[in-house]
Structures are given as structure tokens and as C-alpha cells.
Copies of this chain bind each other. A is one copy, B any other.
Amino acid sequence: MEKREKINHRDTVCAVDYAFQRIGGKHKGRLIYHLSKGTLRYGELGRRITGITPKMLTQVLRELEEDGLVKRHVYLEVPPRVEYSLTPSGMELVPFIVLLADWGRAKMNKEGLACEN
């Protein structure tokens, strides 16, 4: 096959890629899914998203924040309180995440797998 130009991370010309770069990855989908039901604190998110480490949770939240999908609200209290919620741009993704979840659930049922949501 002839040689083709390589594309760099977040330097694409394809809308599908652009979207996957922003909401793909191991935890982002689930995170948006949980936030779609309402504002959550850091620790609450950590408990809902099984298998994520604090480091990854922070990292993923920062990326989503940077991409304008998640809003971070810090309360100047002790002990600290930080709440996360979807921005309008993030909320636009909800129907789509729901569709995806429906598809996944249906396939899981067909394959006889248990599904937690």
C-alpha cells in the first residue's frame, strides 16, 4: 500500500475522529453517563466508576474540562468539596451516550452477559 500521512493526536480533519478523541478512552463514556444524571463530587464519581484510580479520575476530568464538556466547581471549604457537572456542550452528548448504552445493553443480553445499568 502506498505511503500515507500520519495524523497527530487532536490534529485531525475528520469529525468522527474529533469526537472519539474527546469522548473515547477507557472511562470517559461512563463518566459522562454518570454525570448526565446530575452533579457529582469527586469521591462520588470515584465510587461509581469501578476500576478507576484517583489519578485517572483526575486526568479524565481535566481532559473533559479542557474540552468544555465538564464543569468543575470548587467550594472553598474544609474538608474540600469539588463538584462536577456537564456543560451544555457535554449535555448534547447525552442522547448519544444513551443510544450507545442501549445498543451495548441489547448486545450484552443477546450474549447472555449481566449488565449493571
Chain A residues within 8 Å of chain B by Cβ, number = 47
Enumerate chain B residues within 8 angstroms of A30, measured Cβ to Cβ.
14, 16-17
Determine if B99 and A16 form an interchain contact, defined as CB atoms under 8 angstroms apart: no
CB < 8 Å neighbour of A1 from B33, B54, B108: B54
Determine if A101 and B7 form an interchain contact, defined as CB atoms under 8 angstroms apart: no
Contact with B along A26-70 (1 / 0, CB 8 A): 100110010000000001001100111010000000000000000
Interface of A with B (CB < 8 Å)? Answer: 1, 4-7, 13-20, 22, 24-26, 29-30, 33, 43, 46-47, 50-52, 54, 89, 92-93, 95-97, 99-105, 107-108, 113-117
Closest 3 CB pairs of A and B: A15-B104, A19-B104, A18-B104
